[in-house]
Amino acid sequence: MGDDNVSLSLKLGLDSSSRYYFHHSDTSATKLCSQLLDGENWATWSRSVEIALSVKNKLGFVTGKFKKPSKSTDPDEFDLWERANHMLISWFSHSVSPDLVPSVLFAPIAQHVWEDFQARFAQGNLPRIFQIQSSIGSHVQGAMSIANYYTKLRGFWDELDSYRPLSTKRHAHHNEDRLMQFLVGLNDTYNPIRGQILLLKPVPDIREANNMVTQDEKQREIGNNSPADNFLVAAAVQFSKGSNPNKFSGNSSFSPSNSNTEGLFCKYCKKDTHTIENCYKLYGFPLGHPRHDPNFKPKSYRPGHQNQQHGARSNPAAAHAASPNGATPPLSGLFAEQYQ
């Protein structure tokens, strides 16, 4: 019988699938997550710890799933359980702020530590929810890259979800809300792609919108020494069959008579309805525009060094004469006077 108990003890302690198994890298000084629990970060800390304990097959010790065996009837397994329990208490003591260490070390079992933290820090979520919502509302891109801007915003959303699980019924509005929050915080240089995204039907997923803006950012980085390298992303704006192409240029957001065009001037085509960053003659028309050319390549523009092609375009008469049969060249901008 003694040999059987020894065999059972070895099996339970050395079998990698056993709850009592510890890898050689699992020491008493192991930290369960990079951030220490300070009471304010319970949502993210508890989630990190749950993942770490689950990977190590130890989560059942803090949830109560792995019950404490009887010392009198099963002494060998009791020893293994107590060893595992003490190891978890040690892990907790290295994963919390110094002020919380005493409440960990004197706890009899790891489950009590976990339940105590839940009772103390998982309550009163409204103040934290208010802080997160405020952070989301004030979060703007500024000097951050699109990747850093989106990652930080995504962190706010994920923490907010940990406090308020999302129901299936609210999913569609939930996605729209986050899409608006993402677009509102972008810098003004992304106005063109932002407008394209808002025109898409159906409303794109937040990840799709982030990919579109990221592609726009990458294209801008191709030649950041010139404003002409700030290319417009050819966003897939789907127009219904038989739609009037004039609707594209008749949109109030792009209309030459719109008050938003006051004070604008394009150094490339010499029009006063837009700036060079939004010049479709220079960068090409986006997908969905009636004059979109898939083979069009954006021009390279340097002030005072316009190429010969630009010289022709800046002179309407020359451009008209250079085109076959005197036809208007398909290199017009968005506004009516750019077709002239």
- What is the pLDDT at residue 149? 93
Q: Are 178 and 209 in contact (CB under 8 A)?
A: no
Beta bridge partners, 96, equal 37
Q: What is the pTM of this model?
A: 0.43
Domain ranges in the chain are: 2-121, 124-222, 258-340
Nearest to 310 by CA among 326, 322, 327: 322
Q: What span, in angstroms and rounded, lies between the C-alpha atoms of 148 and 141? A: 8
Q: Residue 19 above 60 pLDDT?
A: yes
3-state secondary structure of 199: helix
The answer to whether 12 and 18 are in contact (CB under 8 A) is yes
Read off the tokens for 55.
């990977």
- Residues counted in the chain: 340
Helix (H) / strand (E) element for 214: namely helix 206-222
Quote the pLDDT of residue 18: 84
pLDDT at 300 over 80: no
The tokens for 339 are 């077709």
Percent of the chain scoring above 70 in pLDDT? 67
Q: How far apart are CA 295 and CA 280, in angstroms?
A: 14
Q: What is the pLDDT of residues 103-132, one digit of tens each?
A: 898 889 999 999 998 888 876 566 777 788
C-alpha 324/C-alpha 166 separation (Å) is 60
pLDDT tier at 302, thresholds 50, 70, 90: low
Predicted pLDDT of residue 198: 85
pLDDT score recorded for residue 76: 84
First to last CA, the chain: 101
Closest by CA to 122, choosing from 59, 31, 41, is 41
Angle of helix 146-163 relative to helix 125-138, nearest 10 degrees? Answer: 160
- pLDDT level of residue 172 (50, 70, 90 thresholds): low
pLDDT at 335: 40
pLDDT attached to residue 8: 56
- For 193, the token pair is 């792609």
Give the H/E segment covering residue 175.
helix 171-184
Amino acid identity, residue 210? Answer: N
Say what the pLDDT of residue 312 is.
41
> What's the confidence (pLDDT) of residue 44?
82
Mean pLDDT of 178-204: 87
How much is the average pLDDT of 270-295? Answer: 79
Mean of the per-residue pLDDT values for the chain? 74
CA 96 to chain CA centroid, Å, is 28
Nearest to 282 by CA among 268, 263, 267: 268
Average pLDDT over residues 303-325: 43
Query: Which DSSP string do the residues of 32-48 spell out, in sequence order?
Result: SSSSPB-SS-HHHHHHH
Q: What is the pLDDT of residue 334?
A: 41
Query: pLDDT tens digit string along 55-109?
Result: 999 999 998 898 888 888 888 888 889 999 999 999 999 999 999 999 898 889 9
Asked if residue 190 lies in contact with residue 216, where contact means CB atoms within 8 angstroms, the answer is yes
Tokens 């982030």: give the residue.
210
Q: Which two tokens stand for residue 156?
A: 């706010």
Assign 3-class secondary structure to 247-299.
Answer: HHHHCCCCCCCCHHHCCCCCCCCCCCCCCHHHCHHHHCCCCCCCCCCCCCCCC
